[in-house]
């Protein structure tokens, strides 16, 4: 891990350089192709899960693969005996792409399957949910780890920089134990934690007004009133379209146009260089931010 620090929109790299590299497809480095004993599939919006997946892959000598890159494959049959899934929680569950992946994974019962979820509020029983999905396909979750990270969703703006730093420090504290467990192919406890307990944490209490604002808006005007939109600062740079892991954004007449298959990761909003994107033009307390060890190029290479 390097450059640990802020989650405030800066990547610790030169932004202009990052952008130039991001729009040059020739600069992309594909994940390495040798057969590895472990493959790690990841999904990430602000880079929290990517940072975790990348560190794990480095330590375990695993191949690192974006989940989005296999989204169109009918079946997935890695040569590796161990398969890891690293992802954020959205609405207290794994992104739908994760459960779709499990349904297409070959020889589920014959593999060591592990997962790490990153979360901003509470892991809830999302890893148990994943275990159930694996069991329905003849396998099970051998180990499920939950790692607290800065909240990338509604109300995340309420976290101070000190609180963000503290949250970012969780992962370096846990990596040795998690890698040891995976290397030994240990059957470990599936971690969980409950939202109501989390909500007594002072940092999370500060998010509540935003969460209530969101609920009120949906109740009064419907969820459509919170559709992604670009404001006047948008200069048509296309970063949002390039970063979207599911190709949900077209640029039409120099402006982003969101389609109907959004995965809800907020990557477009967080990575827009002009901070021009919002939910329906309303302030929902979402601070444009990303993991300090992850840059735009890392995200666009997916
Ligand atoms: C749309 C959205 C919904 C979220 N919902 C939850 C949630 O229900 N529970 C939770 O603990 N964190 C939630 N989060 C926070 C993320 O899970 C957390 O910040 C995660 O580390 C983001 O990882 P990423 O940068 O890899 O996407 C949500 C974030 C977003 C953008
Ligand atoms: S919304 Fe942001 S990222 Fe998308 S084109 Fe406009 S300025 Fe670029
Ligand atoms: S449109 Fe934005 S929020 Fe939806 S999947 Fe694409 S990047 Fe994520």
**Do residue 153 and residue 177 come from a single domain?**
yes
Kindly state the average pLDDT of the residues 169-198: 91
Could you report the per-residue pLDDT of 90-109, keeping only the tens digit for each? 999 999 999 999 999 999 99
**Do residue 153 and residue 66 come from a single domain?**
yes
Could you report the per-residue pLDDT of 33-89, keeping only the tens digit for each? 445 699 999 999 999 999 999 999 999 999 999 999 999 999 999 989 999 999 999
**Do residue 184 and residue 137 come from a single domain?**
yes
Kindly state the average pLDDT of the residues 252-281: 96
Verify whether ligand 3 is closer than 6 Å to residue 159 (CB atom).
no
Residue 215: in which H helix or E strand, if any?
A: helix 208-221
Q: CA dist 289 to 116, 203, 204, 294, 297, Å?
A: 21, 17, 17, 11, 15
Could you report the per-residue pLDDT of 116-142, keeping only the tens digit for each? 999 999 999 999 999 999 999 999 999
Q: What is the pLDDT of residue 34?
A: 47
Asked if 93 contacts 126 with a C-beta cutoff of 8 angstroms, the reply is: yes
**Do residue 183 and residue 235 come from a single domain?**
no
What CATH number is given to the structural domain containing 45?
Answer: 3.40.50.360
Q: Is the pLDDT of residue 8 over 50?
A: no
**Do residue 45 and residue 129 come from a single domain?**
yes
Q: What is the pLDDT of residue 15?
A: 44
In a domain, 299, yes or no: no
**Do residue 71 and residue 214 come from a single domain?**
no
Of the listed ligands, the closest to the CA of 263 is: 3
**Do residue 196 and residue 234 come from a single domain?**
no
Mutation pick for ligand 2 pocket among 15, 274, 279 (CB with most ligand atoms within 8 Å): 274
Cα 238 to middle of ligand 3, angstroms: 13
**Do residue 149 and residue 268 come from a single domain?**
no
Of 292, 257, 236, 261, the closest CA to residue 68 belongs to 261
**Do residue 109 and residue 231 come from a single domain?**
no
Asked if 275 contacts 288 with a C-beta cutoff of 8 angstroms, the reply is: yes
Q: Is the pLDDT of residue 3 over 70?
A: no
Domain boundary among 176, 204, 232: 204
Q: Confidence band (pLDDT; 50, 70, 90) for 232?
A: very high
Cα 262 to middle of ligand 2, angstroms: 16
Cα 172 to middle of ligand 1, angstroms: 19
In a domain, 249, yes or no: yes
Q: Confidence band (pLDDT; 50, 70, 90) for 170?
A: very high
In a domain, 291, yes or no: no
Nearest CA to ligand 3 atom 6: 244
Give me the domain span that covers residue 248: 210-279
Cα 182 to middle of ligand 1, angstroms: 24
Q: What is the pLDDT of residue 239?
A: 97
Q: What is the pLDDT of residue 181?
A: 96
Could you report the per-residue pLDDT of 191-226, keeping only the tens digit for each? 999 866 666 677 778 888 999 999 999 999 999 999
Q: What is the pLDDT of residue 199?
A: 66
Ligand 3 atom with least separation from CA of 247: 6
**Do residue 43 and residue 152 come from a single domain?**
yes
Least confident of 132-136, 155-159, 195-199, 234-238: 195-199
Kindly state the average pLDDT of the residues 187-192: 95
From the CB of residue 146, how many other CB atoms can be counted at a distance below 10 Å? 21
**Do residue 30 and residue 62 come from a single domain?**
yes
Q: What is the pLDDT of residue 251?
A: 97
Nearest CA to ligand 3 atom 2: 268
Domain count, the chain: 2
């Amino acid at each position: 891990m390097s450059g640990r620090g802020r989650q405030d929109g800066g990547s610790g790299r030169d932004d202009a350089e990052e952008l130039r590299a991001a729009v040059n497809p020739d600069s992309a480095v594909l994940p390495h192709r040798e057969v590895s004993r472990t493959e790690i599939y990841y999904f990430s919006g602000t880079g929290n899960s990517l940072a975790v997946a990348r560190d794990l892959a480095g330590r375990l000598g695993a191949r690192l693969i974006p989940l989005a890159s296999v989204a169109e494959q009918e079946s997935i049959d890695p040569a590796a005996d161990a398969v890891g899934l690293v992802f954020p929680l959205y609405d207290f569950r794994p992104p739908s792409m994760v459960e779709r992946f499990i349904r297409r994974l070959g020889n589920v019962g014959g593999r060591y399957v592990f997962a790490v979820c990153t979360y901003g509020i509470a892991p809830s029983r999302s890893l148990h949910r994943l275990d159930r999905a694996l069991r329905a396909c003849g396998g099970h979750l051998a180990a499920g780890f939950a790692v607290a990270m800065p909240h990338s969703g509604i109300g995340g703006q309420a976290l101070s920089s000190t609180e963000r730093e503290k949250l970012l420090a969780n992962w370096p504290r846990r990596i040795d134990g998690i890698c040891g467990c995976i290397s030994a192919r240990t059957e470990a406890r599936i971690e969980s934690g409950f939202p109501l307990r989390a909500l007594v944490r002072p940092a999370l209490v500060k998010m509540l007004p935003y969460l209530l604002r969101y609920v009120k808006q949906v109740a009064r005007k419907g969820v459509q009133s919170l559709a992604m939109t670009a404001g006047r600062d948008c200069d048509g740079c296309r970063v949002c379209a390039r970063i979207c892991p599911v190709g949900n954004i077209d640029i039409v007449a120099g402006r982003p146009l969101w389609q109907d298959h959004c995965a809800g990761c907020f990557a477009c909003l967080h990575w827009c260089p002009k901070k021009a994107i919002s939910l329906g033009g309303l302030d929902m307390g979402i601070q444009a931010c990303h993991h300090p060890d992850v840059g735009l190029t890392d995200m666009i290479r997916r």
